[in-house]
A and B are shown apart, each in its own frame.
Chain A
């Protein structure tokens, strides 16, 4: 690849690269293809040896069973009820704090920002027991509040991400608005946030992925099965199906695929935002 002319060595290297990519690609995608294939087999087909990759006929009704064996629509609704407010609250609170760190000079600012970054590395296990006691004392166990309320206080990683982005926005229009008498809050909302759209999108997408797929929080705080999220519900389903006489792996695979689906759709719709969020942390 070092020279534009395609010598035999370059052609050979290109060929090898393709062979490696295709081989690894096959290994990486085989589990998902197998999952999809399993989800369309009848119970006999799923245990058939050797395994048939093309189920004939495909048992699409497995997907109906996957969403009715446990109240999956209810789980979906619960997940939305948690995820939507968390996305809004995380964005607003993190963007407020990030604006404070990016645009104001005040004593202790740099120390506070360093502290904020340091908490990113804090393992959650140290605070989980006291937080559980706190939420239990408030009577919030088996409600969605322990999963939603903490997002009102901003999240260090998103504060960092948004602050870095705010710093790259020129201040001219903000200063003009200040002279015209606009409040800082108004400037933040109507001048800064619209210019930070890419960072805002990254925050929303990562918050969605994190909250939608969270397992530990719902596992700790949601006891009633009818309050479960999709992720927690899938684990409940796994336990129930494994506990029955013949394990319906086809149903479990169908349910798992349905849980994965929103992630995959979002990923294809917003791939570049994922990449930005992922590579953000390295430069610091």
Chain B
């Protein structure tokens, strides 16, 4: 028995060690840094809650919060709806469906920087495909990334293009819905909409919750798209017109690695941490009673 304990510990030791060295230790150190005036060169000096006070009166912090909230509020519901719609379409038993599944899924497994460079060109106000298409419909498209109003919707559009990943998860859930249940509902006279809302939706609710939380966490941490799409030629120019795409992670990155304000950046990182945990917990609590797990809640 004792030997089994020892062996078990040895097998999980790499992770346990990594947890201490690369997660727990750095988290504690980060908490400490957030109470100091550390920069890249100067050693940390304890200043208590000063960084948090500074944050409370930092307009750029509020700007980045608002930007991130707006991005998540647009992107997460739109992404869920599009992914669910795609999954319902892709669940149809028609021939050639494998081709379409691949087609919609492909953009979500590729390189974010390459996709961002592509979207930079797609969103080009003068020569881009998007505005060319709008022009063909008789609409003069906006300036997208060069417009304070349209920069965030442009990034949301790009994120929608990768909704295939979430669609795959919905699709797997839809394929687990027993056909007898929807057929029984049809015999009882339920129309397609009612069948979807009363039978299918509850059965795929675990996938919905999963996609909601992953989508939310992803949206709150959006970085690469904003960095590549709104970073101009000069380093430090990221953030878009009038800081419209200065998201929290981008702001943390700029404070930490362009201005080397490590103490303040650590405090910002903790604020983001609290926000993410809070949002996840809230989504979890709100959804928990409504989510139906086959065979009871785990």
The answer to whether B262 touches A264 (Cβ under 8 A) is: no
The answer to whether A215 touches B262 (Cβ under 8 A) is: no
Complex partner residue of B221 from A28, A125, A278, CB under 8 angstroms: A125
The answer to whether B228 touches A127 (Cβ under 8 A) is: no
The answer to whether B22 touches A17 (Cβ under 8 A) is: no
Residues on A with beta carbons closer than 8 Å to the beta carbon of B124: 249
Residues on B with beta carbons closer than 8 Å to the beta carbon of A97: 11-12, 14-15
Residues on B with beta carbons closer than 8 Å to the beta carbon of A29: 103
The answer to whether A128 touches B15 (Cβ under 8 A) is: no
The answer to whether B233 touches A100 (Cβ under 8 A) is: no
| Chain B, interface residues (CB within 8 Å), range | 35 or more
Is A38 interfacial (CB-CB < 8 Å)?
Answer: yes
A216 and B252 CA atoms in complex are apart in Å by 13
Tell me which of B17, B106, B168, B214 has the highest count of chain A C-beta atoms within 10 A of its own C-beta.
B106
Is A34 interfacial (CB-CB < 8 Å)?
Answer: yes
Is A134 interfacial (CB-CB < 8 Å)?
Answer: yes
The answer to whether B272 touches A125 (Cβ under 8 A) is: yes
Residues on B with beta carbons closer than 8 Å to the beta carbon of A253: 117-118, 121
A1 and B25 CA atoms in complex are apart in Å by 56
Residues on B with beta carbons closer than 8 Å to the beta carbon of A30: 129
Residues on B with beta carbons closer than 8 Å to the beta carbon of A24: 86, 89, 104
The answer to whether B30 touches A127 (Cβ under 8 A) is: yes
Instruction: Quote the shortest CB–CB distance from A82 to chain B (angstroms).
Output: 15
Q: Which chain A residue has the least Cβ–Cβ distance from B8?
A: A104
Complex partner residue of A263 from B11, B18, B109, B228, CB under 8 angstroms: B109
Q: Can you name 5 A-B pairs with beta carbons within 8 Å?
A: A97-B14, A234-B111, A255-B117, A256-B111, A257-B114
Is B156 interfacial (CB-CB < 8 Å)?
Answer: no
Q: Find residues 217-274 in chain A having any chain B CB closer than 8 Å to their own CB.
A: 219-220, 231-232, 234-235, 238-239, 242-243, 249, 252-253, 255-257, 259-260, 263-264, 267-268, 271, 274
The answer to whether B298 touches A104 (Cβ under 8 A) is: no
Instruction: Quote the shortest CB–CB distance from B23 to chain A (angstroms).
Output: 6
Complex partner residue of B273 from A93, A107, A123, A215, CB under 8 angstroms: A123
A267 and B103 CA atoms in complex are apart in Å by 11
Is B100 interfacial (CB-CB < 8 Å)?
Answer: yes
The answer to whether A249 touches B10 (Cβ under 8 A) is: no
Q: Find residues 24-58 in chain A having any chain B CB closer than 8 Å to their own CB.
A: 24-25, 28-32, 34-35, 38, 46-47, 49-51
Is B161 interfacial (CB-CB < 8 Å)?
Answer: yes
The answer to whether B7 touches A215 (Cβ under 8 A) is: no
Given contacts A127-B27, A267-B109, A282-B207, list 20 more A-B pairs with CB under 8 A. A1-B93, A2-B186, A20-B89, A31-B122, A51-B132, A96-B14, A99-B11, A106-B8, A130-B266, A154-B18, A213-B112, A215-B227, A234-B111, A234-B117, A235-B113, A242-B232, A253-B117, A256-B111, A256-B115, A279-B168
The proximity string for B residues 205-231 relative to A, scoring 1 for CB distances below 8 Å and 0 otherwise, is: 011001000100100110110011001
A213 and B10 CA atoms in complex are apart in Å by 32
The proximity string for B residues 87-117 relative to A, scoring 1 for CB distances below 8 Å and 0 otherwise, is: 0011011100100101111110111111101
The answer to whether A123 touches B210 (Cβ under 8 A) is: no
Is A77 interfacial (CB-CB < 8 Å)?
Answer: no
Interface size on A, residues (CB 8 A): 96
The answer to whether A184 touches B7 (Cβ under 8 A) is: yes
Q: Which chain A residue has the least Cβ–Cβ distance from B127?
A: A47
The answer to whether A279 touches B169 (Cβ under 8 A) is: yes
Complex partner residue of A34 from B22, B94, B122, CB under 8 angstroms: B122
Residues on A with beta carbons closer than 8 Å to the beta carbon of B257: 132, 220
Closest 6 CB pairs of A and B: A153-B18, A100-B11, A104-B8, A130-B26, A106-B8, A100-B12
A134 and B29 CA atoms in complex are apart in Å by 10
Is B4 interfacial (CB-CB < 8 Å)?
Answer: yes
The answer to whether A116 touches B114 (Cβ under 8 A) is: no
The answer to whether B127 touches A49 (Cβ under 8 A) is: yes
Is A284 interfacial (CB-CB < 8 Å)?
Answer: yes
The answer to whether B228 touches A235 (Cβ under 8 A) is: yes
Residues on B with beta carbons closer than 8 Å to the beta carbon of A17: 89, 92, 94
Residues on A with beta carbons closer than 8 Å to the beta carbon of B25: 130
Residues on A with beta carbons closer than 8 Å to the beta carbon of B221: 123-125
Instruction: Quote the shortest CB–CB distance from B61 to chain A (angstroms).
Output: 14
The answer to whether B18 touches A239 (Cβ under 8 A) is: no
Residues on B with beta carbons closer than 8 Å to the beta carbon of A255: 117
A231 and B223 CA atoms in complex are apart in Å by 15
Complex partner residue of A153 from B14, B103, B231, CB under 8 angstroms: B14
Q: Find residues 45-74 in chain A having any chain B CB closer than 8 Å to their own CB.
A: 46-47, 49-51
Is A171 interfacial (CB-CB < 8 Å)?
Answer: no
The proximity string for B residues 253-271 relative to A, scoring 1 for CB distances below 8 Å and 0 otherwise, is: 0001100001001100110
Residues on A with beta carbons closer than 8 Å to the beta carbon of B231: 239
A106 and B56 CA atoms in complex are apart in Å by 46
The answer to whether A271 touches B168 (Cβ under 8 A) is: no
The answer to whether A121 touches B223 (Cβ under 8 A) is: no
Residues on A with beta carbons closer than 8 Å to the beta carbon of B103: 25, 28-29
